[in-house]
């Protein structure tokens, strides 16, 4: 038997006997042998004791590789399972895994693991690490494993999904588990780790399944990396829109009455209403006709549009109305706006026709993917569709982009870049086949961006199934890359829905459809704003703009109410704190609620017909006349709280 191993640099090593990954790495170099954590064999991650016996392409994995970090985190997850099983013999295990954030292990027992139990589990894991215990791997038959896991319904179900009669398992003492690509050979190689949280997680991410307890953690090779990650997580926690939304009483989601369905509390609804009014006014001023369309539509419309074929898994099941009609909760608004366009015969003189809507949509997100306002099942999209002639495409594209950038200025969004998203010509399943259309529309987008002198990146495979698009990618407060706005060219839907307009020649012509979203969904956009501002909204967006506090309830409440009423009459959002609490407590509470202006009113303010003003984030108090304060807050709101 002879075989060759091809290394990443193209060199080859020949062998006559089977060789382990560990021996191969040592044979290449002593330092590589010591650093090796596993390998990729023909693209598959394997452990150090994996035996090579035939031709293969092999890349040794070290702590410098992403795969090395995954091996480390998988190993900690495995050790965590082992110590949890020892601490709680009755425990069952669901899924485990790693990602960019760390690792997780799903567990189930009568009294689920609580957050205050993590320190003891962490201490037990550290003890095993210190002992440097061996982690062995071997192959076992499914029948043997079925006996071992016969009392664990989750492991038994996962075992059935394993391919073949033999399954690779890992052992730590008496503990056995499967489902890991590769683990470290002994626990002593684990470096830095931290158990972070416990949370509910449905078995296989489906709400119809049992709720398990997910233990999450992270691990790194260097302490500095772990410290930096923990610091980053603290920043995330401070900015987490779910936490801020709870603390400021903006919204809530209750899985008992509907997972992924947010309830907007009065303050959150106020922020949303301000944003919606702003967007509608901007769009109307820019020539859009705002409409309302139903959230239900015959499923045949989505079959015509292609959404049914491409996004069926993300759509709710159709509702059988009993008379042969099947209605679908709409997952997007474009077919609805197409119906608005088709309702009348259109002339070239009318084009461009701009239709916009704050359109409610529903998408079936799996329970495990739901997250606050960012991933929901019901959402309202700031949606718009423009119907243009072919020679109007470029000018309309520029007009839409100018509107988007104007909105960004008002919201002080500055960290973004442009991405031209093209089809992947090899992916004939996702993208409809019409090479001429794709080439034409992609070149149109590119020319429009070039003519505007804007820099952009190009991304193959990111287009919508019906056409290429410009995506404006923003950085969230937590550093994630997210699509905020999009402009999409579409030659396909006008064809499928037989859209026409009467041209100057009296003949019917096909319009081009431009899909655009300025700030995406209200839910995700407000989550973005909450995290960017840490809940301290600029005055024009703040749910309560002015908090009025009387020094003495008996002596100063009437004046406080008078000031509140006058501010409300002038269009500002003001409240008076008339609770029977100490003055200092009320002032601190106003700061905690991040109200832009706090007015403290006592004898002097009544005498001078003025106010004592304290801005959020400062301890400075400034006496002003009422008219001076009105001028200040009016300018603050008018300028969108920007420093001019």
Q: What is the pLDDT of residue 18?
A: 92
Looking at the DSSP assignment, which residues form a beta bridge with residue 548? 576, 599
Q: How far is CA 221 from CA 185, 191, 218, 453, in A?
A: 15, 5, 11, 45
| CA trace torsion 342, 343, 344, 347 (10° rounding) | -20
2 within 8 A of 19, measured Cβ to Cβ: no
Burial class (CB in 10 A: 0-12, 13-18, 19+), 186: middle
CATH fold group of domain 262-295+330-533: BirA Bifunctional Protein; domain 2 (3.30.930)
* Contacts of 479 by beta carbon, 8 Å cutoff, 6+ apart: none
Q: What is the pLDDT of residue 434?
A: 65
> How many other CB atoms are found less than 10 A from the CB of residue 321?
11
The two tokens of residue 170 are: 């890992």
The two tokens of residue 573 are: 């959002």
* Contacts of 282 by beta carbon, 8 Å cutoff, 6+ apart: 403, 406, 407, 518
* Contacts of 60 by beta carbon, 8 Å cutoff, 6+ apart: 21, 24, 25, 28, 32, 36, 39
Residue spans of the chain under pLDDT 70: 1, 425-435, 466, 643-644
Binding residues for Zn(2+): 334, 385, 515
Q: At what angle do helices 435-451 and 393-410 cross, to 10 degrees?
A: 50
Among 310, 337, 338, 312, residue whose Cα is nearest residue 465: 310
Per DSSP, the three-state class of 198 is strand
The three-state (H, E, C) secondary structure of 443-481, written as one string: HHHHHHHHHCCCCCEEEECCCECCECEEEEEEECCCCCE
* Contacts of 259 by beta carbon, 8 Å cutoff, 6+ apart: 207, 253, 367, 370, 377
Among 128, 125, 104, residue whose Cα is nearest residue 179: 104
Domains 72-228 and 539-639 share a fold: no
Say which DSSP state 115 is in.
G
CATH fold group of domain 72-228: 3.30.980
Binding residues: 334, 385, 515
Q: How far is CA 495 from CA 183, 336, 442, 466, 492, in A?
A: 54, 16, 18, 11, 5
The two tokens of residue 329 are: 């909760």
Structural domain boundaries in the chain: 3-62, 72-228, 262-295+330-533, 539-639
CATH fold group of domain 539-639: Rossmann fold (3.40.50)
* Contacts of 176 by beta carbon, 8 Å cutoff, 6+ apart: 140, 145, 148, 169, 170
How far apart CA 180 and CA 93 sit, in angstroms, is 14
* Contacts of 351 by beta carbon, 8 Å cutoff, 6+ apart: 387, 388, 389, 392, 501, 511
Per DSSP, the three-state class of 383 is strand
pTM: 0.76
Residue 255 phi/psi, 5-degree rounding, is: -55, -25
CATH superfamily, with its number, for domain 3-62: Beta-grasp domain (3.10.20.30)
């Amino acid at each position: 038997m002879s075989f060759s191993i091809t290394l990443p640099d193209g060199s080859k090593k020949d062998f006559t006997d089977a060789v382990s990954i560990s021996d191969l790495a040592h044979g290449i170099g002593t330092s590589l042998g010591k650093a090796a954590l596993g390998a990729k064999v023909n693209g598959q991650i394997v452990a150090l004791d994996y035996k090579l016996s035939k031709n293969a392409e092999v890349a040794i994995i070290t702590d410098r590789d992403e795969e090395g970090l995954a091996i480390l985190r998988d190993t900690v997850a495995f050790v965590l399972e082992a110590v949890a099983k020892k601490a709680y013999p009755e425990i069952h295990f669901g899924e485990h895994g790693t990602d960019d954030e760390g690792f997780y292990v799903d567990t189930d027992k009568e009294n689920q693991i609580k957050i205050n139990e993590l320190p003891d589990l962490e201490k037990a894991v550290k003890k095993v690490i210190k002992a440097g215990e061996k982690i062995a791997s071997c192959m076992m038959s499914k029948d043997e494993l079925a006996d071992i896991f016969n009392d664990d319904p989750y492991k038994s179900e996962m075992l059935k999904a394993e391919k073949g009669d033999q399954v690779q398992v890992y052992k730590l003492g008496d503990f056995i588990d499967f489902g890991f690509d590769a683990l470290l050979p002994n626990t002593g190689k684990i470096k830095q780790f931290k158990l972070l949280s416990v949370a509910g997680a449905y078995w296989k991410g489906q709400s119809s399944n049992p709720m398990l307890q997910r233990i999450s953690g992270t691990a790194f090779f260097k302490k500095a990396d772990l410290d930096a990650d923990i610091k980053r997580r603290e920043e995330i926690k401070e900015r987490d829109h779910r936490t801020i939304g709870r603390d400021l009483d903006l919204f809530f989601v209750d899985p008992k009455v509907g997972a992924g369905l947010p309830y907007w509390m009065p303050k959150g609804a106020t922020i949303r209403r301000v944003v919606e009014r702003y967007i509608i006014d901007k769009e109307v001023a820019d020539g859009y006709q705002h409409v309302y369309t139903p959230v239900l539509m015959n499923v045949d419309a989505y079959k015509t549009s292609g959404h049914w074929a491409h996004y069926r898994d993300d759509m709710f099941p159709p509702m059988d109305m009993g008379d042969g009609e099947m209605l679908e909760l709409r997952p997007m608004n474009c077919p609805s706006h197409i119906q608005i366009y088709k309702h009348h015969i259109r002339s070239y003189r009318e084009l461009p026709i701009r239709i916009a809507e704050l359109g409610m949509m529903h998408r079936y997100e799996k329970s495990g993917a739901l997250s606050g306002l960012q991933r929901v099942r019901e959402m309202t999209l700031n949606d718009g569709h423009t119907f243009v002639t072919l020679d109007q495409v470029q000018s309309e594209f520029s007009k839409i982009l100018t509107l988007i950038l104007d909105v960004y200025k008002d919201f002080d969004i500055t960290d973004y870049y442009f991405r031209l998203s093209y089809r992947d010509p090899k992916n004939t399943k996702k993208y409809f086949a019409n090479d001429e259309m794709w080439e034409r529309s992609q070149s149109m987008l590119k020319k429009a961006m070039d003519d505007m002198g804007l820099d952009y990146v190009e991304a193959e495979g990111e287009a919508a199934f019906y056409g290429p698009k410009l995506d404006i990618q923003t950085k969230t407060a937590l550093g994630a890359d997210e699509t905020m706005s999009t402009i999409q060219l579409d030659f396909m839907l006008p064809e499928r829905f037989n859209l026409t307009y009467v041209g100057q020649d009296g003949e019917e012509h096909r319009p081009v459809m431009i899909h655009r979203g300025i700030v995406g969904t209200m839910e995700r956009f407000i989550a973005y704003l909450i995290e960017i501002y840490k809940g301290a909204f600029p005055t024009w967006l703040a749910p309560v703009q002015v908090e009025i506090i009387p020094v003495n309830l008996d002596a100063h409440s009437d004046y406080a109410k008078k000031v509140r009423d006058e501010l409300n009459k002038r269009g500002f959002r003001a409240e008076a704190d008339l609770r029977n609490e100490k003055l200092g407590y009320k002032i601190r509470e106003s700061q905690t609620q991040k109200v832009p202006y706090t007015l403290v009113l006592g004898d002097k303010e009544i005498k001078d017909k003025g106010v004592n003003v304290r801005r959020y984030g400062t301890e400075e108090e400034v006496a002003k006349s009422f008219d001076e304060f009105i001028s200040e807050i009016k300018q603050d709101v008018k300028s969108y709280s920007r420093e001019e």
